[in-house]
């Protein structure tokens, strides 16, 4: 029984996004020195993306489905390697500039479609935030990534992502150790911003050097403040009556170095539970009113939704890879797959729709993508489909024979197992002997 093919709009949209010019840019960073014999660039990247979209409980199961879907979609091309180990070896040799070139090409197409329609009074709101993903406790990862949380915690990587508001569509991102600085990541991402961007961030993005870098990049900021921020005003107004006004951000160490202050506008947004204090360098109230600033900052939660989709929808709360090279490529490839997924869920945009554009359900879009992959599998020939089912049965049955000990290393923060000790023996007294005899006689 053959499944009906689903709406061809998704494959057509993916082909439109991943244009021949984009593949050409990726091939420029893919030299012959990096090319494995069985894995060329195109099948390697397609399998990497489809592994993030496929459904499966293990990396082996996702690889079998993604490879079979690629073979079905490209029947006239040479088939890639058949084993997950070979795929991982080829992926480890993939230069990271290839993935960055692919992301830059997709970002350019996203900008052509959404940058102008999402502007509000000429400003393009872009949120920035960070999150961590856990990695396996491999020796290489523990040595090079270190610990980022509690003592003896698992190694982690830190993701700083920028998203277009109000869509929550990924724009650019940076990876680092679990202890990486989100300020440093944001400064590295500033060159990717379009003109007249408005960076929206929480209270963790407070710093003179960071604000100065944003101003030098010809961008603006809208940052929430906490009690650790000290501001200077020309007229002392009680906080109970303060609504908005001009302030100066001028930390003591900056004054001692002889650097000038940053002139900004402080906006107070009243809420049911607590007030939100926002600092922005947009001094014109007509360009960014208090009501507009409050609405834009509420959209910042779309950034948190991106991390939720990445960790829960694509199941990347914990990564699979056990080397640093593979961790970077697995994490970056999954984020590229999520970027394409959310782009497919975005509706057409027109100017003046910044507050009305809403993404379709990411999960519904993912299910449709999985339906396309299932339709591709049923286009395989009889022998190819039987071979795919056989491989799937092998990886699901897990025919693994353990040859060594179950534990390779000491598990941190786990109490040592103490086996039960010998029972304590007591000698029966004369009174207890008489009671036992009376019980036995009554029985």
Question: Is 85 found in the same domain as 164?
Answer: no
- Tell me whether strands 220-224 and 197-201 are parallel, antiparallel or unpaired: parallel
Name the residue range of residue 270's domain: 120-320
Check whether residue 72 and residue 142 sit in a common domain. Answer: no
| Angle in degrees, CA 17, 19, 20, rounded to 5 | 170
Report pLDDT digits (tens) over 177-190.
988 999 999 999 99
Residue 108 lies in a domain: no
Say how far apart CA 335 and CA 157 lie, in whole Å: 13
With bands split at pLDDT 50, 70 and 90, how would you rate the model's confidence at 25?
A: confident
**Is residue 50 located within the same domain as residue 159?**
no
State the Cα–Cα distance between residues 300 and 17, nearest whole angstrom: 27
127 and 66 inside one domain: no
**pLDDT on residue 124:** 94
DSSP secondary structure code for residue 170 in this structure? E
Same structural domain for residues 69 and 197? no
Which of 211-220, 326-335, 403-412 shows the lowest mean pLDDT across its residues?
Answer: 403-412
Q: Is residue 408 part of a domain?
A: no
- Do 178 and 304 belong together in one domain? yes
Q: How far apart are CA 177 and CA 156, in angstroms?
A: 7
CA distance 280 to 267: 8
Q: Is residue 214 part of a domain?
A: yes
Shared-domain flag, residues 152 and 193: yes
Of 8-17, 85-94, 314-323, where does mean pLDDT reach its minimum? Answer: 8-17
255 and 127 inside one domain: yes
Task: Tell which wins on pLDDT, 380 or 175.
Answer: 175
234 and 305 in a single domain? The answer is yes
Query: Within this chain, do residues 32 and 157 fall inside the same structural domain, yes or no?
Result: no
Q: Does a structural domain hold residue 100?
A: no
Confidence label for 36 from pLDDT (cuts 50, 70 and 90): low
Helix pair angle (41-53, 324-345), 10° resolution:
70
Count the Cβ atoms, other than its own, within 10 Å of residue 304.
15
Kindly state whether residues 306 and 388 are assigned to the same domain: no
d(CA 114, CA 108): 10
Nearest-angstrom CA–CA distance, 180 and 252: 25
Region 264-281 average pLDDT: 88
Q: Could you tell me if residue 390 is inside a domain?
A: yes
Residue 407 predicted with pLDDT over 70: no
Query: Average model confidence (pLDDT) for the chain?
Result: 85
Asked whether the predicted pLDDT for residue 396 surpasses 90, the reply is no
Q: Residue holding tokens 């500039």?
A: 97
**Cβ 135 vs Cβ 319: under 8 Å:** yes
Asked if 224 and 151 sit in the same domain, the reply is yes
The mean per-residue pLDDT over the stretch 297-309 comes to 90
Average pLDDT value for residue range 227-239? 82
Residue written as tokens 């939704």?
Answer: 305
- Give the end of a domain, one of 304, 320, 336: 320
**Is residue 407 domain-resident?**
no
At residue 317, the 3 state secondary structure works out as coil
Q: Which region among 60-64, 83-87, 141-145, 422-426 has the lowest average model confidence (pLDDT)?
A: 422-426
pLDDT bucket at 349, cuts 50 / 70 / 90: low
H-run or E-run covering 36: none
Whether residue 146 lies inside any domain: the answer is: yes
430 or 419, which is more confident: 430
Please work out, in degrees rounded to the nearest 5, the angle formed at the alpha carbon of residue 262 by the alpha carbons of 115 and 186: 45
**Number of compact structural domains in the chain:** 2
Mean pLDDT of the region 64-69:
91
Residue 356, pLDDT above cutoff 70: no
Residue 167 lies in a domain: yes
Find the CATH number of the domain harbouring 284. Answer: 3.90.350.10
Residue 78 has pLDDT above 80, yes or no: yes
Q: What is the rounded CA–CA span in Å between residue 90 and residue 11?
A: 26
Question: What is the spatial distance between Cα 342 and Cα 405, in angstroms, rounded to a whole number?
Answer: 44
| Among the ranges given (157-171, 305-319, 382-396), the one the predictor scored with the smallest mean pLDDT | 382-396
pLDDT of residue 26: 81
- Over range 67-76, report the average pLDDT: 89
Query: Radius of gyration over alpha carbons of the chain, in Å?
Result: 29
Which whole number is the average pLDDT over 103-109? 90
Answer with the one of 301, 320, 339 that is the final residue of a domain: 320
């Amino acid at each position: 029984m053959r499944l009906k093919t689903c709406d061809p709009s998704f494959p057509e949209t993916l082909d439109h996004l991943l244009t021949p010019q984009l593949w050409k840019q990726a091939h420029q960073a893919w030299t012959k020195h990096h090319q494995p014999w069985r894995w060329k660039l195109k099948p390697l990247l397609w399998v990497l993306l489809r592994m993030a979209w496929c459904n499966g409980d293990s990396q082996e199961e996702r690889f079998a489905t993604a490879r079979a879907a690629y073979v079905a979609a490209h029947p006239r091309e040479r088939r890639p390697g058949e084993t997950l180990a070979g795929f991982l070896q080829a992926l480890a040799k993939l230069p990271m500039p290839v993935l960055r070139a692919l992301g830059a090409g997709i970002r350019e197409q996203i900008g052509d479609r959404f940058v102008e329609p999402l502007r509000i009074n000429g400003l393009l709101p872009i949120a920035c935030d960070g999150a961590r993903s856990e990695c396996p406790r491999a020796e290489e990862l523990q040595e090079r990534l270190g610990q980022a949380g509690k003592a003896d915690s698992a190694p982690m990587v830190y993701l700083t992502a920028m998203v277009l508001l109000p869509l929550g569509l990924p724009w650019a991102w940076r990876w680092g150790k679990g202890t990486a600085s989100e300020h440093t990541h944001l400064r590295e991402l500033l060159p990717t911003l379009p003109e007249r961007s408005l960076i929206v961030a929480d209270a963790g993005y407070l710093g003179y050097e960071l604000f100065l870098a944003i101003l030098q990049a010809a961008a603006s900021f809208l940052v929430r403040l906490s009690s650790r921020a000290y501001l200077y005003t020309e007229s002392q107004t009680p906080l109970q009556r303060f609504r908005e006004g001009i302030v100066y951000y001028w930390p003591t160490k900056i004054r001692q170095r002889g650097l000038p202050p940053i002139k900004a506008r402080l906006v107070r947004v009243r809420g049911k539970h607590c007030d939100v204090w926002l600092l922005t360098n947009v001094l014109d109230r007509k360009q960014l009113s208090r009501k507009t600033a409050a609405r834009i900052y509420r959209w910042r939660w779309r950034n948190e939704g991106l991390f939720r989709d990445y960790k829960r929808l694509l199941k990347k709360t914990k990564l699979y890879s056990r080397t640093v090279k593979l961790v970077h490529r697995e994490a970056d490839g999954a984020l590229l797959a999520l970027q394409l997924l959310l782009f497919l869920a975005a509706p057409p945009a027109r100017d003046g729709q910044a507050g009305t554009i809403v993404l379709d359900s990411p999960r519904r879009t993912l299910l449709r993508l999985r339906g396309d992959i299932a339709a591709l599998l049923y286009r395989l020939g009889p022998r190819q489909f039987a071979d795919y089912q056989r491989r799937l049965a092998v990886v699901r049955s897990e025919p693994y024979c353990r040859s060594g000990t179950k534990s390779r290393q000491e598990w941190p923060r786990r109490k040592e197992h103490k086996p039960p000790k010998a029972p304590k023996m007591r000698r029966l007294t004369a009174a207890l002997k008489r009671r036992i005899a009376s019980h036995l006689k009554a029985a």
